[in-house]
Amino acid sequence: MKKEKILIVDDEDNIRTLLSDMLSMKGYTVATAENAEKALQEVKDFSPHLVLLDLKLGKSDGIDILKQIKKIDRSIVVIIITAYGSADTDLNEIRFGAYGEIAKPFDLNVLEKVVADALESSTRRSEE
């Protein structure tokens, strides 16, 4: 059993359960949040190692949530999920500390690999 904790933030119920099913099957401990407020609460309570963050959460500004997560704990790895296609990557996301971006709909293998790589790189960084 892996000990890494992952927080899934998406306002779409079906996507939260999909990611949650898939990542828990891989052995991660998973929590979910459907809005910005709940997401920030979970960041504090659940202290995830990694957050999968949908930038489009109702009225909230995704970049703003990203900044706030990083403010609470800089070491949390954030991967952005976007429904606007990969070509639309806003460099701001990277500038504000996101690890990377995955476009919907995603290949499960790719997502699993990106998550594993991101966690590994952060572990390495914290060990150095």
Partner 1 sequence: MPADKSQNGCVVAPHVLVVDADGALKNSLQPLLTPDYKVWHQPSVAALFNDIRNKSISVVVVNEAAVAFDQDGFQNWLRSYPLPVAYVLAIRDPGAQAVAGRVAKGAYDCVDAGRPEQVAMAVRHGFRTALQEHQIRALAEKCAAQSAELSEEKGLKISLLYEASRITGSVFHLETLLKMIIHLITNVMKVKICSVMLLNEETDQLEIKEAIGLVPEIMQATTIKRGQGISGWVFKEGQSLLIGDIDEDGRFMGRNEERYMTKSLLSVPLKIKDKVFGVLNVNNKTDGKPFNEEDRRVLEPLAAQIAAIIENAQLIDHLTTAKTEVKKAHDQLIRSEKFAAIGKLAASLSHEINNPLTSIYGRIQQLLRSTVDPETIRLLSVVKSEVERISRILGNLLNFAKIAKTKTQLHDLNVIVDNSLNLLLPEIKKSNISLVKDFNKKLPEVLIDGDQFMQVAINVMLNAVKAMPKGGELLISTSQDEEWIRLSVKDSGCGIDKNKLESIFDPFYSNWTDGSGTGLGLSVSKGIIEGFGGDIEATSAIGRGSTFTIKLPYKS
- Interface residue with partner 1 among 24, 75, 108, 117 (CB under 8 A) is 108
**According to the binding rule CB under 8 A, does residue 58 interact with partner 1?**
no
Strands 60-61 and 56-57: antiparallel
d(CA 33, CA 12): 10
Q: Which residue has the tokens 């099957």?
A: 25
Q: 22, 128, 38: which is closest to 30 by C-alpha?
A: 22
Q: Enumerate the β-bridge partners of residue 33.
A: 9
User: Site for partner 1 (CB under 8 A): how many residues?
Assistant: 19
Q: Tokens representing 122?
A: 């952060």
Taking CB under 8 A as the criterion, the residue among 37, 61, 88, 117 binding partner 1 is: 88
Asked if 26 is part of the footprint of partner 1 (rule: CB under 8 A), the reply reads no
Which residue's CB is nearer to partner 1, number 64 or number 88? 88
Residue 91 in the binding site for partner 1 (CB under 8 A): no
Q: Which residues bind partner 1 (CB under 8 A)?
A: 12, 14-15, 18-19, 21-22, 56, 83-85, 87-88, 104-109
